[in-house]
Amino acid sequence: MKPFKYEKAKDLGTAASTLDSIPSASLLAGGTNIVDLMKEDVARPDILVDINGLEFSKIKKKGNTVSIGALATNKDTANHPLVRKHFPVLTQSILAGASAQIRNMATNGGNLNQRTRCMYFNDPSVTCNKRDPGSGCSAMEGLNRMHSIFGWSNRCVAVFPSDMAVGLAALDAVVNVANKDGESRAIPINDYHRLPGRDPSRDNTLKRGEIVTTIDIPINSWAKNSYYLKVRDRASYDFALVSVAAALDLGGGVIRGSRIAMGGVAPKPWRALIAEKELIGKKPSKELFERAAKMEMERARPLEHNEFKVKMGERAIVRALQKSGNA
Amino acid sequence: MDKDIDDVAVDYEMSEDEKTILRELGVFGESRRKFLGKVGTGGASLLALQLLAEQEALAAETGEPLTSAFGPRFENALKVTLKVNGEKKSLEVDSRMTLLDALRERLALTGTKKGCDRGQCGSCTVIVEGERVLSCLALAATCEGKDVTTIEGLAEGDSLHPLQAAFIKYDAFQCGYCTPGQICSSVALLDEAKNGELSHVSDEIPEKAAPVDLSDDEIRERMSGNLCRCGAYPNILKAIQEVEGGREVAQTWSFYNSAKEGSDETV
Ligand SMILES: Cc1cc2nc3c(=O)[nH]c(=O)nc-3n(C[C@H](O)[C@H](O)[C@H](O)COP(=O)(O)OP(=O)(O)OC[C@H]3O[C@@H](n4cnc5c(N)ncnc54)[C@H](O)[C@@H]3O)c2cc1C
Ligand code: SF4
Ligand code: FES
Ligand code: FES
């Protein structure tokens, strides 16, 4: 690991200002990703700014929204009474990730900003456009079983690994960020992460010097009709091959609204908008779910080793919708 | 004449980072000659240089400023005070040092094991402020003022923690390497379940937390962050079951009394 200076942040302003003025500075929250990357020499910060202890670790209700602190742990978030009550799909998506030990350490801000698990990204001895822009993508011609089937570019085919972010995408969460001058921006979760396009080095739309402070989730009426389904190689403690967060707004025997977000298939949480639209105004049934899922997955562009994710994704959507509708 | 690191004869080319480390450790000039005297003939590999320098740095427990034969204290030294198994410990550590290395290398608490050093196996699990964490991914610097419990701190005098006793009773290990992590993890697991914390296999998500009944699947899921290469899982499950619910499970082994060889009797 490269030597670095450890700095305990006094307040948000000083942390943001260090980030802003020193490009090689990095934030440290739970450390479960950044410390790992530093050990592998993939991340090489000169300064590590420890933001633990800053004020934004609370989970509270603000009118018709629940505000979740970026520094609240994944464990505390999943188990919080407000989250259990209003967003069980978020609880499920968090608990489907990592292990108890890691969720005890991991924070919500760190989870949103974790890097891809593409094995080539995590190995500095091979080329990777995300880690070393312009060097080439080893996964394109290499092993790409775990990689994207939607949204990739010929510069990068990695997936964004977070489960929690998929839950948040289905809940239309808003990510609040602030900079050194105290200016804040509210970024809808679906605009927070970005597709690689010509520049895979940036995973999200956070600007230099910005820090995630809270995540707002609007309270909805779908809590009882939601489900997070995760398919992985092992029964536990593994990243998703495919995952689906689904939520249905049911009333008068029809689907009034629907949310379907997918993990493990794209460089960002992937909203299945085609399938969502197909469901509106119709009576829930297995046939409907199958048709909608098929329509969505027909758009997939699998790589050499991950063709299987297309069918798996289709079935996972159907299953998650059935579970959501208790059908 | 004071030499710079660029003049040091080592038997392979150093990267800029490595040179920086050695400059910071003061491993050149007068101190370097002393050092080379110590290592004797032959080219000193960078690894050896680093190890020796680190060893000196690491030897200095307590708040005294770190000085070494190689020069001044290292640049990214930090003072950390933690409470380990009830005892207050003050250390000066490199910012890169993990809690795992601090426990093992500085405090001689080698019960906590390093498996993967990458957050993937759970063998380094310890309990910090009542919660199980991976000490290989926790920087020592972040543990300032915190309460740390390791496997060495679970027993009360000569009486083992019920989970330690149950692991022995059910033969819940073979090589034993993963065991300290398994035990720390299961100690915390029992508290989590009592507090009503949920897991991926919990069927219901009740609004209000209520103690969770630990089915076999619940225990398996909640222990999935602790790998065991020897595959002692079934017996680990039994040990936890017994302590959890007082569900006594048949003991899987017994000592064979060689004095009574030929008879079926065991003691
Ligand atoms: C073995 C293993 C298995 C895992 N399995 C899963 C899994 O199945 N599913 C899953 O979803 N995740 C999984 N994870 C990933 C884990 O969820 C993340 O590592 C964790 O959520 C990161 O949070 P942290 O607080 O530890 O982040 P850190 O490691 O502290 O930080 C991660 C990044 O986010 C930045 N950052 C932190 N906080 C902020 C902030 N407030 N604003 C802006 N930037 C910030 C940091 O600078 C850093 O770049 C796994 C991890 C491991 C090690
Ligand atoms: S897929 Fe992306 S992260 Fe993986 S090697 Fe290619 S460029 Fe790097
Ligand atoms: S040594 Fe920490 S998880 Fe393997
Ligand atoms: S007992 Fe050998 S690894 Fe678990």
How far is residue A80 from each of residues A211, B112, B157, measured CA to CA in Å?
A: 23, 31, 37
Residue A238 lies in a domain: yes
Report whether B142 contacts B207 (CB < 8 A).
no
Which mutation among B116, B230, B236 tests ligand 4's pocket best, with the greatest number of atoms within 8 A of CB?
B230
Could you give the angle at the alpha carbon of A123 between the alpha carbons of A235 and B23, nearest 5°? Answer: 130
For residue A223, what pLDDT is reported?
83
- Mean pLDDT within A38-44: 98
Chain B residues in contact with A28 by the CB 8 A cut-off are 139, 142
pLDDT reading at A70 higher than 60: yes
Residue A99 lies in a domain: no
For residue B42, what pLDDT is reported?
37
Strand, helix or coil at B261? coil
For residue B27, what pLDDT is reported?
46
* Full domain range(s) for residue A296: 223-325
Residue A27 lies in a domain: no
pLDDT reading at B140 higher than 80: yes
Residue A254 lies in a domain: yes
Task: Give the one of A50, A81, A101 whose C-beta lies nearest to B225's C-beta.
Answer: A101
Residue A26 lies in a domain: no
Alpha-carbon gap: A20 to the closest alpha carbon of chain B (Å): 22
Instruction: Check CB contact under 8 Å for A104 and B142.
Output: no
Alpha-carbon gap: A197 to the closest alpha carbon of chain B (Å): 30
Please give the mean pLDDT across all residues of chain B: 80
Q: Which residue has the higher pLDDT, A222 or A45?
A: A45
Chain B residues in contact with A35 by the CB 8 A cut-off are 98, 137-139
Please name the amino acid found at residue B24.
E
The pTM assigned to this predicted structure is: 0.88
How far is residue A7 from each of residues A19, A324, B147, B264, measured CA to CA in Å?
A: 12, 45, 21, 65
Does the model's ipTM exceed the 0.85 cut?
A: yes
pLDDT reading at B252 higher than 90: no
- In sequence order, the 6+-apart residues with CB closer than 8 A to the CB of B203 are none
Indicate the number of domains in chain A.
Answer: 1
pLDDT tens for A201-237 read: 999 999 999 999 999 999 998 888 999 999 999 999 9
Ligand 3 atom with least separation from CA of B137: 2
Please name the amino acid found at residue A274.
I
The reply to whether ligand 2 has any atom less than 6 angstroms from the CB of A28 is no
pLDDT reading at A189 higher than 70: yes
Chain A's closest residue to B125, CA to CA, is A101
Q: Which segments of A131-262 does DSSP mark as H helices, in order?
A: 138-141, 164-170, 189-192
Residue A231 lies in a domain: yes
Sheet with A174-178, edge to edge strand ranges:
A59-62, A65-69, A211-218, A174-178, A184-188
CATH code of the domain containing A258: 3.30.390.50
Task: Output the CA torsion B17→A49→A77→A235 (10° steps).
Answer: 0
The reply to whether ligand 1 has any atom less than 6 angstroms from the CB of A166 is no
pLDDT reading at A294 higher than 80: yes
- Mean pLDDT within A182-208: 97
pLDDT tens for B45-74 read: 444 444 445 555 454 444 444 444 444 467
d(CA A4, CA B172) in angstroms, rounded, equals 41
Q: Is A129 exposed, middle or buried (0-12, 13-18, 19+ CB in 10 A)?
A: buried
pLDDT tens for B215-229 read: 999 999 999 999 999
d(CA B246, CA B249) in angstroms, rounded, equals 9
Candidate from A268-277, A311-320, B198-207 with smallest mean pLDDT: B198-207
d(CA A117, CA B119) in angstroms, rounded, equals 13
Task: Output the CA torsion A72→A78→A81→A82 (10° steps).
Answer: 70
Chain B's closest residue to A228, CA to CA, is B200
pLDDT tens for A233-253 read: 999 999 999 999 999 999 999
For residue B23, what pLDDT is reported?
58
A31 in reach of chain B (CB within 8 A):
yes
Report whether A316 contacts A244 (CB < 8 A).
yes
pLDDT reading at B5 higher than 80: no
Instruction: Check CB contact under 8 Å for B139 and A28.
Output: yes
pLDDT reading at B44 higher than 70: no
Cα of B119 from ligand 4 centre, angstroms:
17
For residue A222, what pLDDT is reported?
87
- Mean pLDDT within A156-164: 98
Residue A228 lies in a domain: yes
- In sequence order, the 6+-apart residues with CB closer than 8 A to the CB of A183 are none
- Mean pLDDT within A31-42: 98
Residue A108 lies in a domain: no
Report whether A226 contacts A83 (CB < 8 A).
no
Candidate from A20-34, A121-135, B41-55 with smallest mean pLDDT: B41-55
pLDDT tens for B152-201 read: 999 999 999 999 999 999 999 999 999 999 999 999 999 999 999 999 99
Chain A residues in contact with B199 by the CB 8 A cut-off are 95, 100
Secondary structure of chain B: what % helix, strand, coil (to 5)? 35, 15, 50
User: How far does Cα B244 stand from its chain's mean position?
Assistant: 25
